[in-house]
Structure 1
Amino acid sequence: MTPKFQRRTLCASLALTGIAALLPAAARAAPLPEGPINFIIPVPPAGGTDLTFRALMEASRKHLDRTVVVLNLPGAGGAVGLSQAAIKPANGLFLNSYTSEIFTLPVFQPLTFSGKDFRPIIMVNEDPACLVVSADSKYDSLESFLAAARAAPGRISVGNSGFGNIWHLSAAAFANKAGVDLLQIPYNGSAPTVQALLGNFIEAFVASPPEVLPQVQAGKMRVIAVMADKRSAILPDVPTLKEKGIDLSIGTWRAIGGPAGMSDEVVKQLHDGFAKGMQEKSFTDFMSSRGLTIRYMNTQEVSAFVAKERPQFEALAAEIKKTAKP
């Protein structure tokens, strides 16, 4: 190689380096193929899962340098959407909400997917379960609710947003720990569950505090217990089950995931984009206004968390399956 050619090569290399430094991070390191990201939410619109992820997708668009298309594919407690998500290409353009239902739904019925078909990317949110009644309910406390349940086994109706999902499991775990027999009524999502309570079709239901906060503030509903280690920041006057002598702490956690075959490079790019989105004021303000709790975990942390949570949720689902029927 001649000195002149060496100088030209060096200059060209330096020029390329300078140009690369001026490019956005997403353009410089682009393991993601071109095209929009499709994000599957396996529950109906308007619930806590839908609201959380729609807000985050909007906040993360500029950091991912591409359009994000959100698709609600509800049905069978989330099984319909997750079945579709499990067979998508593992190229990073097809993602989904990653929640405990990925592990619990296959316990209740034969499905085309299992937890092994998905890979978590980032943890976004966590909220406890709570027991809700209408504002004019005769159950003005947890004690009165339990007294009625013990007096009429299997007759107090408790709704949830889908058979086999976290609120069904939470209600069943609560009944088991409290030593009562409740009539579980599944609905297709949180919105119809809310309407069922307001219409007096059920006597109570289980959800997260943020999902019922607007109705509580409007004087239409009352939360009589929170299933957490400590009281909810948005419902500070509501006791926990543990305060009432019932040793149970359970709730939902919401992460972003995708097909298990995604490469480490793709996962890192997605994680970094969503992590920046979680710091956007538009997202933090939205979550705060709704009372939704932000809980960040990176890919390694959420993977370890899932490895610990998965057997516990699978065991709970298996126990419930012995007596519960869809």
Structure 2
Amino acid sequence: MECARMNFTKTLLLYSAILGAQLGLAPLASADEFPAKPISVVVAWPAGGVHDTAARIVAEHLAKRLPTPVIVTNVTGAGGSTGVRHVEQADPDGYTLGLMGMHALSQNYMNPNATALSDLDPLAYLGPEPGSIQVSADSGIESLPQLIDTLKQEPGSIINGNDSPGGFSYVMAAMMESALDVKLTKVPYQGFAPTVAAILSGEVMSSTLPVPQLAEQHKSGQVKILGVAAEQRHFFAPDVPTFKEQGFDFIAGDYYIFYLPKKVPEERRSRLESALYETLLDPAFQQAAHKAGLILDPRNSVDTQAFLAQQDEKVYPILLSAGLVKARQK
């Protein structure tokens, strides 16, 4: 009887594979294969932000390379720390991935309860997300030099919407204050989507969001993006000059890194890395990502770890200078 059941199961899997191939579907996974159940990609921010958008585009195309669905889960709170901790404490079985940005690095130093950067296993780098600053249409501010002059003459006179302390738009605002010797009045929101709503409603006068979040509103005149904190202009807003073009030597940016909790078995880790990296190189994915305003620079786990180490060395002194280091010291 047991032998008959085994033969029936093998036959069912064979017919499923043949039918799936004929219909262009991914094959069913057997219990001893990896992955054999859905994979969760944890985003530490609410739906509607650029990290959430990036994760969902990747998940859609990653699922085409795996025999199981890839599901995005938003685990929010504490400036991104809650979501990172959720991944760090997950079973190291390969079924929980995370997507992080500068928030994981900054919280590592700002929040004594945050997950240490060394407790995460970087897997793949998607690309950078340059910082920028915007003002509402009725703010009376028409240019970045005018904004800086206003802040120097009247410190704190510009109300800036940003993340909870540790999130990138908060860090971007704090780094800008430190680098340009100005003072904003910072108002925190739980993610990019609420910040967008705040600047559009006039609740705040400015924001420090990535360009894709407000590119359409910039084109329609609802807000004005004053400058991009990068070496090059953003293709979503090619009319907006960089800070450097306007005489301010300031560069700041977020990024997208997929990561795992430590101690995931090497064969599973390698399987995920290969599938992720192939996804990031796929022209269909790249077309979808470009349409969403994502800048791509795919890297494997070795290069991703090297990038994160470089960011750590670069960003820590800035956080220290801005008075944001309150937990771990390098």
Query: Same fold by TM-score, threshold 0.5 exceeded?
Result: yes
Determine helix, strand or coil for the equivalent of 1:194: helix
In 1, Cα distance between the equivalents of 2:271 and 2:306? 20
1:314 Cα shift? Answer: 3.0
1:140-199: CA deviation from partner (whole Å, max 9, x where unpaired): 001111121111112321111231112211111112221211111111011111111112
Q: CA RMSD in A?
A: 2.4
Give the conservation status (yes or no) of the 8 Å contact 2:123–2:259: yes
In 2, Cα distance between the equivalents of 1:92 and 1:219? 45
1:112 Cα shift? Answer: 4.8
Q: Which runs of 5+ in 1 are unaligned?
A: 1-21
Residue equivalent to 1:102: 104
Determine helix, strand or coil for the equivalent of 1:268: helix
What is the percent sequence identity of the aligned residues?
Answer: 26
1:93-142: CA deviation from partner (whole Å, max 9, x where unpaired): 11101322222113222215211111111111312001111233300001
- CA distance change for structure 1 residues 32 and 315 in 2, over 3 Å: closer, same or farther? farther
1:38-95: CA deviation from partner (whole Å, max 9, x where unpaired): 1110100011100011011011102022111211011111111112111011111111
In 2, Cα distance between the equivalents of 1:78 and 1:222? 27
- CA distance change for structure 1 residues 31 and 107 in 2, over 3 Å: closer, same or farther? farther
Determine which of 35, 38, 50 is the counterpart of 1:36. Answer: 38
Determine helix, strand or coil for the equivalent of 2:48: coil
Give the conservation status (yes or no) of the 8 Å contact 1:126–1:253: yes
Give the conservation status (yes or no) of the 8 Å contact 1:177–1:246: no
Determine helix, strand or coil for the equivalent of 1:313: helix
1:240 Cα shift? Answer: 1.1
Determine helix, strand or coil for the equivalent of 2:322: helix
Aligned pair 1:302/2:304, yes or no? yes
Give the conservation status (yes or no) of the 8 Å contact 1:40–1:81: yes
In 2, Cα distance between the equivalents of 1:142 and 1:194? 19
Aligned pair 1:244/2:265, yes or no? no
Instruction: Give the counterpart letter for 1:116 in structure 2.
Output: S
Q: Which has the higher contact order (CA 8 A, sep 6+)?
A: 1
Across the two proteins, how many residue pairs are aligned to each other?
302
Give the conservation status (yes or no) of the 8 Å contact 2:75–2:82: yes
Bigger mean CA deviation after superposition, 102-111 or 31-40: 31-40
Instruction: Give the counterpart letter for 2:206 in structure 1.
Output: A
In 2, Cα distance between the equivalents of 1:49 and 1:33? 24
Give the conservation status (yes or no) of the 8 Å contact 1:159–1:184: yes
Residue equivalent to 2:153: 151
Residue equivalent to 1:127: 129
1:27 Cα shift? Answer: 6.9
Determine helix, strand or coil for the equivalent of 1:295: coil
1:190-212: CA deviation from partner (whole Å, max 9, x where unpaired): 11111111121211110111121
Aligned pair 1:180/2:182, yes or no? yes
In 1, Cα distance between the equivalents of 2:66 and 2:28? 6
Give the conservation status (yes or no) of the 8 Å contact 1:26–1:63: no
In 2, Cα distance between the equivalents of 1:323 and 1:314? 8
Determine which of 263, 282, 285 is the counterpart of 1:283. Answer: 285
Structure 1 runs, 4 residues or longer, greater than 3 Å off: 24-28, 30-33, 279-282, 321-324
In 2, Cα distance between the equivalents of 1:51 and 1:100? 17
Residue equivalent to 1:261: 263
In 2, Cα distance between the equivalents of 1:112 and 1:228? 28
1:312 Cα shift? Answer: 2.4
1:34 Cα shift? Answer: 2.4
In 1, Cα distance between the equivalents of 2:58 and 2:315? 26
In 2, Cα distance between the equivalents of 1:112 and 1:77? 10
Determine helix, strand or coil for the equivalent of 2:297: strand
Larger Rg: 1
Residue equivalent to 1:169: 171
1:287 Cα shift? Answer: 1.6
In 2, Cα distance between the equivalents of 1:306 and 1:155? 35
Bigger mean CA deviation after superposition, 35-44 or 262-271: 262-271
1:234-272: CA deviation from partner (whole Å, max 9, x where unpaired): 222211111222211111110110102123322221121
